[in-house]
Amino acid sequence: MTRDPREETPPPTPRDVAAGSGPRRAKSPDHRPLWLVLLSSLTLIYGGVLLVSSLEALRDPRAATHVPVTRPMTPAEDELARQLVDVGVQVANTHARSIRGNAAVSLPVALLMLFAAAATMSRDRRGRVVALAAAWTGIVYQLATLALTFPIMRDYATQAAPLLARLVALQGDARDAAATPDVVAKVVVAFPVVTAAVAIAGSFVLIGYFGGRRGRVLYGLERRRP
C-alpha cells in the first residue's frame, strides 16, 4: 500500500532514538590515505626485522656478536675485530638466558606487528584496534627490553670499549681523537636507549594517527568535517 506523500512522517520510536544515539561501529576504510600506507609499511618492516632477529637469537645467542666487514682490513684492524668478536661471544655466553628470554618475548610482539600491518593494509575494519594494540604493546616491549638488555650492553661496553677506541683510531682521522675508551663506552651504552626511544616515538605516532581524528574518520567512528 502506497502512503500519501502529504501524510506526516511518524515520530521516531524510542528504539530508533536509542539506535541513532549509540556509539558508532568501526567500518572498513573506503581508501588508503598516504599516512596509512607509510605507517603500515614501517610497521611491516619493524615486525619483519624483529622476527628475524628473534629467531636468530633463539637459535644462537651469539648471532649478534659478528662484526660486519664493509672494506678490506689491515692486519692490525683484523686482529682488533677478532678480539671484539671474542668479547661479544663471552658476554653472550654469560647472558645467554637473558638473550633467549628477550628473543622469546620478541616473537609474539613481531607477529602482532605483522598482523597489524596486514590488517591496516587490507582495510580490515579491525585494523585501527589492532594497530593501537600493537603500538601500546610496542611501548611496553621496548621498556621491558631496555631493562633486560641494559646490563648486557653495560658489560659489553666495559670490556670492548678499549678495543673499539683503538679500532676507531686506526680507521678514523684526526677528528676521531676524542674517541677515548670512556667516550666509546658511553656511546655503546647509549645506543640501546636511543633505539628504544626511536621505537617508542614511532609507537606514539601510530597512536596519534589511528587513535586521533584521522583514524576515527577513516574507520567511520567520526563524521568527516567539511
Three state DSSP letters for 174-214:
HHHHHCCHHHHHHHHHHHHHHHHHHHHHHHHHHHHHHCCHH
Q: Would you give the DSSP letter of residue 219?
A: T
The pTM is what?
0.77
Q: List the pLDDT tens digit at each of the 226 positions of the chain.
A: 444 444 444 444 444 444 444 467 888 888 899 999 999 999 999 999 999 999 998 888 877 666 555 566 778 877 888 888 888 888 888 888 888 999 999 999 999 999 999 999 999 999 999 999 999 999 999 999 999 888 888 888 888 888 888 887 777 654 555 678 888 888 888 998 999 999 999 999 999 999 999 999 999 888 877 6
- In this predicted structure, what is the pLDDT of residue 17? 40
- Vertex 133: Cα angle to 40 and 126 (nearest 5): 70
Yes or no: say if 133 and 198 are a contact pair by the CB < 8 Å rule: no
In sequence order, which ranges of 60-180 are alpha helices (DSSP H)? 75-94, 96-121, 127-171
Measured CA distances, 71 to 25, 74, 77, 171 (Å)? 57, 10, 11, 11
In the prediction, which pLDDT does 20 show?
A: 44
